[in-house]
Structure 1
């Protein structure tokens, strides 16, 4: 079956650059989400951000004019907690992160501890503690498995880029010689866990994203139809630089409302 013949029944969509930009809804985004809900299409909003809980993110989206239930938001923290639960149910972790990560681990049945944890789990935080990083280095050296929510090296702030999970992970790797396993995009693991969450199949699911190096490549590797929108990180002229291509390029999510 060619891509043009695929029937799309379920949708995954990135958040920043696709639905919102700097706290404001991108034109067409509220209508796109409303169409998904009105037609009862299974969907999830994906984000590599592990700082916030789905409840937090729902409130932020609602402020921008996009109304979604908590259960329709899938973060790298939730995907990481699900992955750890599948690997070692009821295990233990030393976590560096904020409520999005610690709540996800707790709800997955994990014990948070500094004493001989099964895993060191690194996520995003607004203020990385050198003491916490030092503790992580020592625990990884002592045999804890090293997991990261996502590989993003920087995150946005009003003052400019901030060091993010990938940058801090590089410090821990340099100090321990141990590389982490990254669960979030571009690992297709995050997409597969999202598909399982909504009981969807890759052949009938589309991914909408604004980044070639995370959204599109992970969507391709997970077997999804991929829509690249040009309202975020990627310009049309940059698409040709990559050795892979999205299924379809659209100006914005507004162009997808009629396809739901």
Structure 2
């Protein structure tokens, strides 16, 4: 595969760089290669619970060096979108530090009195009182925003209800669909490219999911790379009418030849 035309890189985190908080072989080396080559990159995640500082520390514990300014979350993308829509606006926010910090830094006032927006993020402790307030505010005219569409999130005990599942409950009560910022909305990638000052023709997205990473990358006009270290397999790839530009066994296949001898399985070369 020829990546000489790619100047900017976006990559998913879970299933691409880490799995259950352990670095996937080749991930730390690829990040170091980008640092060494001064390749602009961002690590993306739909998770809106954690701040970039939290995620940088989590990756560091796995042996992967990603400074906080090179992390882009659905919370940051949501805050950037709303700052463009209504600078200095107000919002009723359900979520944890990731989304509340991003909204504060974007200049929003947090309020439960006639807000411009109701913003639903992910939290481990959804409050019935807060959800009731959100429903009433949306019915009163607040615009409904969700950071991401994921219906479950993992935990040691098993899946937990996440933003998408709770958004569906609010929609059922209000008859209002949220505008969802995170993947597979290509806006997540476009906002990341804006942060990098990148052009789509020279940017690649690495992911492990056909239904989020690959489809959003295609719709954003990016080169798409699917790695087989997450949930995708050959049967999963075959289910979709679209295909990634490249399919690799892991990110190790992106290492320079003098760094790794990983073999790639290329869907299409250019």
TM-score relative to the length of structure 1? 0.97
**Which residue in the other structure is 1:148 paired with?**
146
Q: Partners in 1 of 2:127 and 2:200 — Cα distance?
A: 40
CA RMSD across the alignment: 1.3
Q: What are the within-5 Å matches in structure 2 for residues 152-191 of structure 1? A: 152-191=150-189
**Which residue in the other structure is 1:206 paired with?**
204
**Which residue in the other structure is 1:239 paired with?**
237
Q: What are the within-5 Å matches in structure 2 for residues 60-209 of structure 1? A: 60-209=58-207
Q: Partners in 2 of 1:158 and 1:169 — Cα distance?
A: 23
Q: Partners in 2 of 1:77 and 1:5 — Cα distance?
A: 30
Larger helix share, 1 or 2: 1
Residue aligned with 1:95, SS = strand
Q: CA deviation at 1:257?
A: 1.6
Q: CA deviation at 1:4?
A: 5.6
Q: Partners in 1 of 2:126 and 2:241 — Cα distance?
A: 35
**Which residue in the other structure is 1:255 paired with?**
253
Q: CA deviation at 1:6?
A: 6.6
Q: Partners in 2 of 1:122 and 1:22 — Cα distance?
A: 25
Q: Partners in 2 of 1:230 and 1:112 — Cα distance?
A: 41
**Which residue in the other structure is 2:266 paired with?**
none
Gaps of 5+ in 1: none
Q: CA deviation at 1:127?
A: 1.2
Judge conservation of contact 1:227–1:247 (CA < 8 Å) in 2: yes
Residue aligned with 2:141, SS = coil
Residue aligned with 1:258, SS = coil
Superposed CA deviations along residues 74-108 of structure 1, whole A, max 9, x for unmatched, are 00000000000000000000000000000000000
Residue aligned with 2:69, SS = helix
Superposed CA deviations along residues 40-86 of structure 1, whole A, max 9, x for unmatched, are 00100000000000000000000000011110000000000000000
Superposed CA deviations along residues 157-190 of structure 1, whole A, max 9, x for unmatched, are 0011100000000000000000000000000001
Q: CA deviation at 1:258?
A: 2.1
* Runs of 4 or more consecutive aligned structure 1 residues displaced over 4 Å after TM superposition: 3-6
Q: Partners in 2 of 1:4 and 1:114 — Cα distance?
A: 52
Q: 1:30 aligns with which of 16, 22, 28?
A: 28
Q: Partners in 2 of 1:107 and 1:236 — Cα distance?
A: 42
Residue aligned with 2:255, SS = helix
Report the number of matched residues.
Answer: 258
